[in-house]
Amino acid sequence: MDTVIFILIGFVGLSLVVTIHEAGHFLAARWAGVEVEAFAIGWGKILWAWKPGQTEYRICLFPLGGYCKMKGEQDLMNALQTQDGSYEPTAGSLFGAAPWKRIVISAAGPVFNLLFAFLMFFLLLWAGQPETGPEARILLASEVDGRSGLPADLADLRTGDKVLSVDGKGIRTFSDLQRAIAASEGKPLVWQIERAGQIAEKTVVPRYIEAEKRALVGVYPFITPLVKAVKSDSVAALAGFRPGDLIVSIQGNPIASTQEFFQALTSAGNKSFTVLVRRNDSTVELLVAPDALKSQSPGLEFVLPTFPAVGSNPVQAAGDSWNKTWFLLGQMVDGLIQLFTGKADPKESLSGPLRITYYVGEVASQGFLAGWGQGWGAITNFLAFISLALFMMNLLPIPALDGGSIILSGIEAVRHRRIGIKAMMRYQQVGIVLILGLVLFTTFNDLGFLLGPK
């Protein structure tokens, strides 16, 4: 049932992002003097229509995206019916506009997606949003998984240190710290920390891993293993965990953080093990069966603090939004390169409309469970991310996408004459075949995800 609800909510969010895209085409076409015959939200049967002028505005049955129908889009098909394949575009039609204007029309949709993402990030950073997550207290990775020589150890950081700022910029949450590390690209950072009530500064030099395009310091969030909720019929429920339990030890080995807890679960292997928890004013020993752990997560949710919304001034918010936008685009480009070079698994990397709408709905639903502010913040962030993905994907030089249309118009502008009808149609047909293949692949991939275990 949750899957259906997530998808329905996601349809609304995804439609908004696609409508923004089509609005870019619409406004650019009007500017270029191209008549827009219809502007629709959704696809399929028309449920409502209104035509105040030359454009008919529609709301259609299936709330997934929309379209912008311009005059003359069928000129190519009509030309194929003539004996010599020639055609003369009519005034106000798409192919009657100059090539450079058609480039603007094609590019306007992706550009609107880029601007929408930037605007969403700006509003979030300007207004601020409540955030639930671990505080910026660190746990050394070397103490958990045995790695040595990590930047955190070299900088004399210690488990339990609370990071107050990085290069003078305030840090509240571990997510803030992760973003500061990611943005460093391996450059030295000055961390202000609190240790045992004393304030100190440490110079940390992240290790930049070129193959993975990320900076590494070697710290985990330090989260106290205090149970907030136990999932019904889970491993933890069968073992007898309850909300409010504080995990003290596993097999007699002290546990101070959730990371140590999960590491101990992994190390337990196929053996049954005991967990000591503090419940109210007493201690209780629980037995965890190993068989269940092979197929499930423990089913525990731990208590995390909620930080109140803190907004930035408009100038700082604009700068941070710009940096975040281009940082995410850079990550997407790296992801595409890895996909085309075979370094990434298409089944894991490619999502179709079904899975995307599921994710949008899940992010919204889970966010609103934590509070209205966090719900709107979560869905706005995710829609901005999807909008950036649409910006980049639509500019790929693939026939039938905006990038392919830009290439055709650019060739026509350079040659100062129209591309042959048959050549143009073959180009578009190749694009349609590629897109249909991608749609089929992602649809089957999405169905496998949605029908599989969550």
Report the alpha-carbon distance of residue 193 to residue 162 in Å, rounded: 5
- The answer as to whether 24 is a domain residue is no
In a domain, 252, yes or no: yes
What pLDDT digit, counting tens, does each position of 97-153 carry? 899 999 999 999 999 999 999 999 999 888 877 778 899 999 999 988 778 889 999
% of residues, the chain, pLDDT over 90: 35
Instruction: Please state which of the ranges 29-38, 57-66, 270-279, 368-377 shows the lowest mean pLDDT.
Output: 368-377
- pLDDT on residue 454: 47
How confident is the model at residue 133, as a pLDDT? 85
For residue 66, what pLDDT is reported? 86
Distances (CA, A) of 98 to 25, 29, 334, 401, 416: 16, 12, 35, 19, 10
Is the pLDDT confidence value at 158 over 90? yes
The number of folded domains in the chain is 2
State the residue range of the domain holding 151.
Answer: 134-222
- Whether 231 and 218 share a structural domain: no
CATH number at residue 283: 2.30.42.10
In a domain, 347, yes or no: no
Assess contact for 230 and 299: CB atoms under 8 A: yes
Q: How far is CA 86 from the centre of its chain?
A: 45
Res 157: pLDDT: 95
Of 222, 251, 275, the position where a domain reaches its end is 222
Is 241 contained in some domain? Answer: yes
User: Per-residue pLDDT tens for 313-344?
Assistant: 889 889 989 988 988 888 777 777 776 676 66
Q: Which residues of 218-233 are buried (b: 16+ CB within 10 A; e: fewer)?
A: bbbbbbebbbeebeee
CA 8 → CA 364, 372, 383, 398, distances in Å?
A: 11, 19, 15, 30
Same-domain status, 187 and 237? no
Which pLDDT belongs to residue 78? 64
| Residue range 237-255, pLDDT digits in tens | 888 999 999 999 998 889 9
Name the domain boundary from 262, 283, 305: 305
Domain-ending residue, one of 206, 222, 238? 222
67-76, 148-157, 290-299, 348-357: which range is least confident on average?
348-357
Which range, 63-77, 198-212, 266-280, has the best average confidence (pLDDT)? 198-212
